[in-house]
Chain A
Amino acid sequence: MSRNVYQFAAALASGIVFGFGLSLSGMLNPARVQGFLDVFGAWDPSLAFVLAGAVIVAFVGVQAMKRMRRPVLGDRFHLPVNNRIDAPLLIGSALFGLGWGIGGFCPGPAVASLSIGLPQTALFVVAMMAGMTLHDRVWRNRS
């Protein structure tokens, strides 16, 4: 079998584990996310454990990556090269954070929760993809 088939299977398996992990963690629930962000009100810190658990495991994986010349199924590691803290990073992150707080969804949970079939999550994902397309096709190409 060609390597593309293995890469497809690896991405599919990784997506399933990601979606299952999100489901288990409580991140799929906008009310929980807003409770986590409600530090001046009835703060629910439990979702901090999601980030902590994920970062710890990812940190170990990154150390393993540094000992590998290339990924198992690919030619090279595709890592971000930009290390500047610039205006698009900060303005974009601020916009993202405001939207995350208002809706209680970030991109992963929004997409995963489509499977549950609520019309509001479908509406959110359509608006999110419109926002992405607006940035990638219009804003980034402005002269």
Chain B
Amino acid sequence: MNTYLLSLGGGLLIGASAVMLLLLNGRIAGISGIVGRLAQGIGLTTNLAFVLGLLLGPIVYMLAFGGFPAVEITVGWPLIIVAGLMVGFGSRMGSGCTSGHGVLGLATLSRRSMAAVATFLTAGVVAVATLRGLGI
């Protein structure tokens, strides 16, 4: 199927998941918040349940389509560690990531989230342009 349609379909499901968590449990489906709180032992049961579900998602995909989705990692382990540290520290400092600010923040028309999304998209573009410039 067309990659644009698959991306749109995946996005609609991500939105549906966020709506489920919001209307049923009253919680924002922000992954950095959920994982961060889990690491601190806050709201252990529901945050653990969500992360378990997140892990089951690709397995359901594999059962439905007969293979895992593609994961092509383009950088070596030193940059993976640097990227992971920045994503973890930065998403907690900025109170959200692509899901919390990107999906729910934009859906609630939060100016704070709009500023966050504009900032992390710009930084992401700068990072990739720099990698490409360095030939990585």
Contact = CB atoms under 8 A, between A and B. Distances in A.
Contacts of B129: 38-41
Contacts, number: 500
A110 to B, nearest CB: 7
Interface string B14-43: 111111111111111101100110011000
Interface string B109-126: 011100111011111111
Contacts of A76: 26
B131 A102 contact: yes
A97 B35 CA distance: 18
Contacts of B131: 34, 101-102
B18 A58 contact: yes
Nearest to B88: A131
Given A8-B46, A37-B125, A62-B22, A100 B57 contact: no
Interface residues of B, number: 103
A51 B117 CA distance: 11
Interface in A106-126: 106-108, 110-116, 118, 120-121, 123-126
Interface in A1-40: 4, 6-32, 34, 37-40
B55 A112 contact: yes
A103 B75 contact: yes
A56 B4 CA distance: 16
A7 B77 CA distance: 38
A103 B4 contact: no
Interface of B: 3-4, 6-29, 31-32, 35-36, 39-40, 45-47, 49-61, 68-75, 77, 79-95, 97-99, 101-104, 106-108, 110-112, 115-117, 119-129, 131-132
18 contacts: A14-B29, A15-B52, A30-B73, A53-B7, A58-B107, A65-B22, A80-B110, A92-B92, A92-B94, A96-B90, A100-B124, A101-B131, A102-B79, A103-B83, A104-B74, A108-B31, A108-B54, A112-B55
Interface of A: 4, 6-32, 34, 37-41, 46-62, 64-65, 68, 70-80, 82-85, 88-108, 110-116, 118, 120-121, 123-137, 139
Given A97-B126, A113-B58, 19 more contacts: A10-B20, A11-B47, A14-B21, A28-B58, A52-B11, A55-B103, A55-B106, A74-B24, A85-B115, A88-B94, A90-B94, A90-B116, A93-B123, A98-B127, A106-B91, A107-B91, A111-B51, A115-B58, A131-B90
